[in-house]
Structure 1
């Protein structure tokens, strides 16, 4: 997000490290709407931009409408100045990791780029495709697969991601959220 913030915020800005916010333990068993609102409320004093994620499972608009918007609406009743963006890939976030063959080259220190799908978001099971690519590059799969995901997530170039439909929507929404935060109070 720093390159995006630099692009949007023309003046100086401060950005702390992003952190993952999970639902509060006391909310296990509550509705997703209640869990989203509770997680935002619990982290309100520490965060000023919230990104709510849900895999799109092939129906991202429906998932957004049913799984994210009710929670954000509930949170906004308590916090009208909430700034948030929804992150809903078409199927799974793993598809976004398949957008940049150069990221794999950098991570595995090879000149031989893997063969990746032309449209990663069209893959029925992007997680399986990603794991196949990682195995072909010599990755040891198992409990450490999340480490590869974290490294890939950091290495995939924004220009590669911006050619993907669902990422474009997330990018647009995130830009608007950052611009809202960058606006002087009372503007």
Structure 2
């Protein structure tokens, strides 16, 4: 299976390996998900409108079995983002199947479900101090600013003792930690309790089953 990943920002690139894992688990033995920005050097200059981005990509390279399209739910909400992606696809005749990747409210929310990797990624696995993480799945997806919540929790995780003063992470540090956390996201871990993750799994498994059925001989 050959797929393309169209995302809001560059940092979501770290999700490619996770999506490939999920595809293999769904029964796709050979899978390659390509980053749209690598396929078109001017992709980032196409603006934020999803329809033109999809159409330009498919005009350049129409040979994809599947598209993965990422949009943070943000304040608009999950259903609004789903409709937005569907509308963009409808404006692009001949589009392949699509899996909508929509974290609620931001991608960082998927990293707030499990404190253990946060301690590991900052090199402080032995600590057990409170990281200030939401305790229930519904609280995670209701968090108004998951990015800031993750930044604050990583700062707490990096403390070596209660006596040390909390330090603000630099943007570079945060970006590196975030990328590593996404790359190492446990697809069997606490993230599975989040509604947005469950929606992703349902769509992905359905798309993979559709592709398998399509490839059966007549």
Q: Give the TM bin, normalised by the shorter chain.
A: 0.7 to 0.9
Structure 2 CA distance for aligned equivalents of residues 63 and 185 of structure 1: 33
Q: Deviations over 1:78-98 (max 9, x none)?
A: 34xx12101112211111111
The SS at the match of 2:91 is helix
Structure 1 CA distance for aligned equivalents of residues 105 and 69 of structure 2: 15
Q: CA deviation at 1:177?
A: 1.4
1:157 aligns with 2:202: no
Tell me which residue corresponds to 1:52: 69
Tell me which residue corresponds to 2:8: none
Q: CA deviation at 1:168?
A: 0.9
57-66 or 27-36, larger mean C-alpha shift: 27-36
Unaligned runs of 5+ in 2: 1-18, 159-167
The SS at the match of 1:132 is helix
Runs of 4+ in 1 over 6 A off after TM superposition: none
The SS at the match of 1:158 is coil
> Would the aligned equivalents of 2:119 and 2:157 in 1 still touch at CA under 8 Å?
no
> Would the aligned equivalents of 1:135 and 1:141 in 2 still touch at CA under 8 Å?
no
Give the aligned length: 179
Q: CA deviation at 1:71?
A: 1.8
Cα distance change on mapping 1:133 and 1:40 into 2, 3 Å: farther
107-116 or 151-160, larger mean C-alpha shift: 107-116
Tell me which residue corresponds to 1:180: 210
- CA RMSD in angstroms comes to 2.6
Tell me which residue corresponds to 1:106: 120
1:39 aligns with 2:57: yes
The normalised TM-score by structure 2 is: 0.70
Q: CA deviation at 1:37?
A: 2.5
Q: CA deviation at 1:38?
A: 1.9
Tell me which residue corresponds to 1:137: 157
Cα distance change on mapping 1:19 and 1:29 into 2, 3 Å: closer
Structure 2 CA distance for aligned equivalents of residues 181 and 62 of structure 1: 26
> Would the aligned equivalents of 1:55 and 1:93 in 2 still touch at CA under 8 Å?
yes
